[in-house]
Amino acid sequence: MVPTMGALHDGHLSLVRMAGKPTVVVSIFVNPSQFAPHEDFDAYPRDLDSDLNKLGSTGANIIVFAPNAREMYPEGFATSITVGGGSAGLETDFRPHFFAGVATVVAKLLLAALPDTAIFGQKDYQQLLVVTRLAADLGLPTKIIGAPIAREVDGLAMSSRNAYLSASERTVAGNLNKVLKDTIARARETGDLRDAEKYGAAALETVGFDKVDYVAIRDAANLSVATGVSGPARILAAAKIGKTRLIDNMAF
Ligand code: AMP
């Protein structure tokens, strides 16, 4: 299974291709419960016909599940799943509602389809850890697999939200991945991870980001604060250009 919110791009399709020969259930559902009232639920791009064409072009054996909100959340729906551990900090500092919405809808989608494997992108790295935890803790019969980040030619991580960017904003956005690479280089050089995080945040502002939510170097396995550069770590960032919020991350 590949759960999505639609407005499909090559990043989504790379997940479908990764599934290979078996039948893939692709869900397309813009999940209202993971958006706060001030966020972009209404503006979020939706184009089911185009999504179906793109899925058809993969040649994969696909079942599309595109429920409406009433089917997913009938009247009286009152359950919300909270995942602890790696879901604390980073995204939750800025989108406190987010992972409960994700965990609840992912649990519903996985229980509806009962896939043996579900593929999630490393693009949403913290989400991947939260979903892995969720599946383990609830004993869901589904193996969770993380897929590499698909990027544009300039390195910008593909995202449905990139469609919000004007031409000049798009140019700024292409610097996010470069700043993360520079920040990794700085951290390797100095060994001072907190200094490198500050350097990265300042660099994002310099290249034209309007607000930096975080640049953080964390333990890759559980997102606890990394104190050294000896083990597998991950650099993660979220920043806004105008109203558009972009996220990215890299292995370190
Ligand atoms: P979304 O439709 O944004 O909720 O994404 C659906 C799935 O596709 C999630 O597992 C995302 O992590 C994954 N995804 C989105 N963009 C990318 C990308 N650029 N590379 C790899 N996976 C992605």
Residue 185 belongs to a domain: yes
C-alpha 120 – ligand 1 centre gap (Å): 7
The answer on pLDDT for 1 being more than 70 is yes
Residues enclosing ligand 1, CB less than 6 A? 4-5, 11-12, 14-15, 120-121, 123-124, 147, 149-150, 157-160
Specify whether 180 is located in the same domain as 137. no
Same domain, 27 and 124: yes
- In a 3-state reduction of DSSP, which class is residue 212? strand
Pocket test for ligand 1, best of 48, 55, 65, 123 (most atoms within 8 A of CB): 123
Whether this prediction's pTM lies above 0.85 is answered by yes
37 with 113, same domain: the answer is: yes
Domain identity same for 164 and 39? no
Mean pLDDT of the chain: 96
pLDDT at 226: 79
Q: Are residues 138 and 19 in the same domain?
A: yes
Report CA 60 to chain centroid distance, whole Å: 23
Do 112 and 223 lie in one domain? The reply is: no
**Integer Cα distance of 85 and 126 in angstroms:** 11
Whether 105 and 192 map to the same domain: the answer is no
**Does 14 fall in a domain?**
yes
What pLDDT, in 10s, does the model give residues 151-185? 999 999 999 999 999 999 999 999 999 999 999 99
For residue 101, the domain's CATH number is 3.40.50.620
Q: Domain total for the chain?
A: 2
How far away, in angstroms, is 2 Cα from ligand 1 center? Answer: 9
Average confidence (pLDDT) over 144-148 = 98
Q: 228: domain CATH number?
A: 3.30.1300.10
Best probe residue, ligand 1, of 16, 17, 117, 124 (max atoms within 8 Å of C-beta): 124
Q: Is residue 19 part of a domain?
A: yes
pLDDT at 159: 98
Cβ 58 vs Cβ 8: under 8 Å:
no
Q: What is the pLDDT of residue 86?
A: 60
Residues 77-128 pLDDT 10s: 999 999 997 657 999 999 999 999 999 999 999 999 999 999 999 999 999 9
- Active site annotation includes 9: no
User: Which residue range is the domain that position 233 belongs to?
Assistant: 160-251
> Could you tell me if 131 and 37 lie in one domain?
yes
Among 112, 147, 182, the domain-final residue is 147
